[in-house]
Amino acid sequence: MLRLALFACFATAKAYIWPEPQLDALELFRWEPDKSGLLGLIQPCNFFLPGGSSTGRSDVSDWIRTAYHDMATHNVTDGTGGMDASIRFAEEQARPEDVGDGFQNTVSSLIKHATRYISMADVLTVGAMVAIENCGGPELAFRGGRIDAVAPNKPGVPEPQQDLDSHISAFARQGFTKTDMIGLVACGHTFGGVQHAAFPDSVPELNDPNNTQSVSHFDSTFVTFDNNIATEYISGTTKNPLVVGLNDTTNSDKRIFASDGNATMQSFAKSADHFSLTCADLFARMFNTVPRGVQLTEVITPLPIKPDNLKFDLAIDGKTIDFSGQVRFWDPPANKTQKVRMLWDDRVNGTNNATLISSGVSPSGVRHTVAWYDTPLLTLQSSAGITNMRFVVDGKLEDQGGVGFAIQDDLIWSKSSCVYTNTSITSGRFEIAVRNTLNPTRVFLEQASKDNISRPIIVEFDLARVSPPAAKPVYNLWSAIVNNTFTAFTIGAEIDGVKVTRNDPRSVEGFASCTGLS
Ligand code: HEM
Ligand SMILES: *[C@@H]1O[C@H](CO)[C@@H](O)[C@H](O)[C@H]1NC(C)=O
Ligand SMILES: *[C@@H]1O[C@H](CO)[C@@H](O)[C@H](O)[C@H]1NC(C)=O
Ligand SMILES: *[C@@H]1O[C@H](CO)[C@@H](O)[C@H](O)[C@H]1NC(C)=O
Ligand SMILES: *[C@@H]1O[C@H](CO)[C@@H](O)[C@H](O)[C@H]1NC(C)=O
Ligand SMILES: *[C@@H]1O[C@H](CO)[C@@H](O)[C@H](O)[C@H]1NC(C)=O
Ligand SMILES: *[C@@H]1O[C@H](CO)[C@@H](O)[C@H](O)[C@H]1NC(C)=O
Ligand SMILES: *[C@@H]1O[C@H](CO)[C@@H](O)[C@H](O)[C@H]1NC(C)=O
Ligand SMILES: *[C@@H]1O[C@H](CO)[C@@H](O)[C@H](O)[C@H]1NC(C)=O
Ligand SMILES: *[C@@H]1O[C@H](CO)[C@@H](O)[C@H](O)[C@H]1NC(C)=O
Ligand SMILES: *[C@@H]1O[C@H](CO)[C@@H](O)[C@H](O)[C@H]1NC(C)=O
């Protein structure tokens, strides 16, 4: 019931038109968290990477608290701070307001997933969203496009010993009213608790084999999103260490929850759905609090039909292209294999078609499923190539509202690419085929790397144009020997001063051995 209501509210968000490299990457990272490995770190919800499931701590709690502390430096007046992954800097983590190792744990689990299209701040956002959803929380609307800070922000995270007025003004500086503050604290503190190691004076050592890090939890269901944080508070049974702690100075939740005469907490205790809807809104606002000037994307909803993993290889004689790929169908009809035909346009014969092969249905994320279909391995004439495709699904045409799925076969791998297996380092002869309708000034391999403040960057390896044979080929080859320990290369080119990229990554295993190739 609740899920339907939430989905309806962002079902109005318009799906984008595929392909769109950044949105494609963000959509995948947000909606297929099993693929990136994110879900594996939070299932079950009490899993804690540095120590298993009986520490009393949990990755989900760390990830959610990290997102809040990253955001909490925001100043609405001057637009500084916000969700920008500044929490990754050791200097921020060393501040008293960021006590504990939860930030470092989160950063080391998550930020390696950042890419040229997905900033570290987007990764921290998706991590916290998936944590909430995976552990009983509402489905959250995701916008991407956060930009990573280049230096720590000014301090500004609230601390438990501060008084109510300081907390009200800290939340106001972050862009939240007093009512928002009560809500956001309750929404966050439905997870986790206070650790003895971080607050030795406020919470005791527990000597509990099921809670080896002595965490005094905020509610009785500390790895589940639910309104027990409110019901236990209102009924007077709460053990929340920031409400019933012996030292009243650090009872910040007590002061915050009672700051409107308990009205907000009572409304949460009365209705789990109201709590969930309020948190969905407040969490989204928290994640979307970004430094001034950062332009977030529209809400990214899963594409109903999404081609993925398209691969092109020009044959060594240059006459044909091997083409293959997959197509993802989001939330397909249950217990029914759809019949899918792919239609595609080429430059010569017009429209062709082939039947796609179902390769199974699997869960995606927390509450969705995907059906995957493979194209057969198609051998296309180079002169024909492929320009656009559409799908006929159980008789119904799917073509993104008439525009189809545009395909780029103009910068592709050549099967003459190969790796040397006779050297101690990985090295290879890499050859890229460029359709003769393109006239690039540069063609290069792209390799993902990080700069000295962990931001994703692309390192380029230039290739040189190979002199074409006498007859004008459909594709011209660019080639270079590259010595490099690489994980994967994508293809880049510069055309009229503009860089373009083709997302057909290849790693060592994807290439033939040079021994035996001419
Ligand atoms: C006045 C505002 C707040 C204060 C004073 C406060 C204080 C604290 C304290 C002292 C801890 C214990 C940390 C530790 O032992 O390592 C904690 C944990 C936590 N806080 Fe807050 N908090 C506030 C607001 C929020 C908000 C707005 C959120 C999220 C929306 C949040 C999410 C969390 C989570 C998930 C934990 C558990 C961490 C874990 O168990 O590892 N907090 N908070
Ligand atoms: C927020 O920014 C304004 C404008 O620069 C500044 O006057 C104010 O002191 C800042 N607030 C805090 C808490 O730093
Ligand atoms: C620890 O958890 C297990 C399984 O939930 C339970 O059987 C056991 O009694 C718990 N031990 C303590 C000391 O709470
Ligand atoms: C209570 O906590 C405050 C803030 O951490 C501290 O300054 C004070 O000494 C504590 N009081 C007692 C009695 O422990
Ligand atoms: C709010 O609720 C708490 C917990 O039941 C209670 O101790 C407190 O007196 C209430 N405060 C107000 C202002 O009603
Ligand atoms: C699909 O099949 C499963 C197991 O066979 C069954 O439990 C489920 O109710 C079916 N769903 C629908 C919509 O028919
Ligand atoms: C698919 O191609 C075959 C010929 O290869 C043609 O007879 C058939 O009509 C095509 N089907 C569609 C749906 O275009
Ligand atoms: C055109 O289609 C025919 C029949 O499917 C095929 O044999 C031929 O190779 C195609 N020509 C090109 C240039 O793709
Ligand atoms: C990072 O590299 C830039 C130049 O690319 C340099 O100016 C800066 O000082 C370096 N920062 C650190 C922390 O090493
Ligand atoms: C690549 O490495 C091999 C073996 O170390 C070396 O012989 C060769 O000169 C290197 N090639 C280039 C282009 O650096
Ligand atoms: C590796 O093999 C290639 C050709 O197969 C040859 O050109 C090259 O010299 C060899 N490199 C080494 C280091 O043996």
Tell me what pLDDT residue 10 has: 56
Q: How many CB atoms within 10 Å of residue 120?
A: 29
The bridge status of strand 396-398 relative to strand 357-364 is: unpaired
Contact (Cβ atoms closer than 8 angstroms) between residue 21 and residue 502: no
Tell me what pLDDT residue 12 has: 54
Tell me what pLDDT residue 373 has: 98
Q: Specify the residue with its C-alpha closest to ligand 1, atom 29.
A: 188
To which H or E segment does residue 472 belong? none
CB-defined site of ligand 2, < 6 Å: 75, 77-78, 154, 173
Q: What is the Å distance from ligand 3's center to 331 Cα?
A: 39
Tell me what pLDDT residue 517 has: 65
Q: What is the Å distance from ligand 10's center to 442 Cα?
A: 22
Tell me what pLDDT residue 518 has: 54
Tell me what pLDDT residue 3 has: 44
The tokens describing 79, both together, are 């637009």
Where does the chain hold its CATH 2.60.40.10 domain(s)? 411-513
Tell me what pLDDT residue 510 has: 86
Closest atom of ligand 8 to CA, residue 346: 14
C-alpha distances in angstroms, 126 versus 107, 191, 275? 13, 17, 21
Cβ of 165 below 6 Å from ligand 3:
no
Complete DSSP assignment for 481-503: EEE---S-EEEEEEETTEEEEEE
CATH architecture for the domain at 2-287: Orthogonal Bundle (1.10)
Cβ of 232 below 6 Å from ligand 5:
no
Find the ligand nearest to 157 CA. Answer: 1
The one-digit pLDDT tens for each residue of the chain (518 residues) are 344 444 444 555 678 999 999 999 999 999 999 999 999 999 999 999 988 889 999 999 999 999 999 999 999 999 999 999 999 999 999 999 999 999 999 999 999 999 999 999 999 999 999 999 999 999 999 999 999 999 999 999 999 999 999 999 999 999 999 999 999 999 999 999 999 999 998 899 999 999 999 999 999 999 999 999 999 999 999 999 999 999 999 999 999 999 999 999 999 999 999 999 999 999 999 999 999 999 999 999 999 999 999 999 999 999 999 999 999 999 999 988 999 999 999 999 799 999 999 999 999 998 999 999 999 999 999 999 999 999 999 999 999 999 999 999 999 999 999 998 766 667 899 999 999 999 999 999 999 999 999 999 999 999 999 987 767 899 999 999 998 777 799 999 999 999 999 999 998 888 898 886 65
CB-defined site of ligand 10, < 6 Å: 423, 427, 481, 483
Q: Specify the residue with its C-alpha closest to ligand 5, atom 12.
A: 261
Q: Which fold has domain 411-513?
A: Immunoglobulin-like (2.60.40)
The tokens describing 197, both together, are 């190691």
Q: Specify the residue with its C-alpha closest to ligand 2, atom 4.
A: 78
Instruction: Establish whether the linkage from the previous residue to 19 is cis, with ω within 30° of 0.
Output: yes
Q: What is the Å distance from ligand 11's center to 515 Cα?
A: 8
The model's pLDDT over 41-58, given as tens digits with 9 standing for 90+, comes to 999 999 999 888 899 999
Where does the chain hold its CATH 1.10.520.10 domain(s)? 2-287
Cβ of 334 below 6 Å from ligand 6:
yes
Q: Specify the residue with its C-alpha closest to ligand 11, atom 4.
A: 515
Residue 443's closest CA among 467, 469, 417, 479? 479
CA distance 365 to 67: 20
CA distance 518 to 88: 49
Contact (Cβ atoms closer than 8 angstroms) between residue 57 and residue 213: yes
* Single-letter amino acid, residue 494: E
Cβ of 158 below 6 Å from ligand 1:
yes
Closest atom of ligand 4 to CA, residue 201: 14
Q: What is the Å distance from ligand 9's center to 73 Cα?
A: 24
Find the ligand nearest to 76 CA. Answer: 2
Task: Note if the pTM is more than 0.85.
Answer: yes
CA distance 518 to 409: 25
Residue 23's closest CA among 299, 363, 292? 299
Closest atom of ligand 11 to CA, residue 423: 13
CA distance 65 to 102: 8
CB-defined site of ligand 8, < 6 Å: 346, 348-349, 381, 383-384
Cβ of 184 below 6 Å from ligand 1:
yes
Contacts of 160 (CB under 8 A, 6+ apart): 199, 202, 242, 250, 251, 252
CATH for the stretch 305-406 = 2.60.40
Substitution site in 162, 163, 194, 247 for ligand 4 pocket (most atoms within 8 Å of beta carbon)? 247
Contacts of 61 (CB under 8 A, 6+ apart): 102, 191, 192, 193, 222, 223
Residue 132's closest CA among 297, 288, 365, 330? 365
User: What radius of gyration do the chain's Cα atoms show?
Assistant: 26
Q: What is the Å distance from ligand 2's center to 74 Cα?
A: 10
CA distance 316 to 17: 34
Closest atom of ligand 1 to CA, residue 99: 16
Cβ of 196 below 6 Å from ligand 1:
no
CA distance 7 to 360: 25
Q: How many CB atoms within 10 Å of residue 509?
A: 6
The model's pLDDT over 191-225, given as tens digits with 9 standing for 90+, comes to 999 999 999 988 999 999 999 999 999 999 999 99
Closest atom of ligand 8 to CA, residue 381: 14
